[in-house]
Amino acid sequence: MISEASRRRPMGSAWRQGASPRPWPWRPGRPTAIGFDVIRHTVLLSFKGVDDAIVDNAISELRGLPALIPEIQSYTVDRDLGLVEGNATIVITADFASADDYETYSGHPEHVRVVTDSIKPSATGLALWY
């Protein structure tokens, strides 16, 4: 049974780590591993009817970007577990300190190359959130 105190308690790793006394969720910032009030860029990619090697290559290429683009503060690339039919295949979450840092990432030659070579030819769906 869930206690009344736990129902009132905000959830999330930032709260558990004592990072902020503010209630969950709030705007404009969102909790991240690096703190609050960052630009968070989330991408959902779908690869339907595509060989697993192509998806694995895209994931590998994406995971290499933080080493090449210092403006990225936090970056995760994960593959869907396949538990629900119709979910996106890959989720990317990237945090940036400013809109300028995001713009640098977005236009960076390595990011453009990965999108052009590993994602656009094979992805069947795309959803972006900022």
Residues 94 and 70 placed together within one structural domain of the fold: yes
**CATH number, domain with residue 70:** 3.30.70.100
The pLDDT of residue 107: 96
Range of the domain at 92: 38-129
More confident residue, 31 or 93: 93
> What is the Cα–Cα distance from 65 to 112, expressed in whole angstroms?
11
Residues 23 and 66 placed together within one structural domain of the fold: no
How confident is the model over 66-96, as pLDDT tens digits?
Answer: 999 999 999 999 999 989 988 999 999 999 9
Residues 89 and 107 placed together within one structural domain of the fold: yes
Write out the two tokens for 72: 């990225």
Residues 62 and 3 placed together within one structural domain of the fold: no
Residues 29 and 87 placed together within one structural domain of the fold: no
Write out the two tokens for 43: 């991408």
Q: How many structural domains are present in the chain?
A: 2
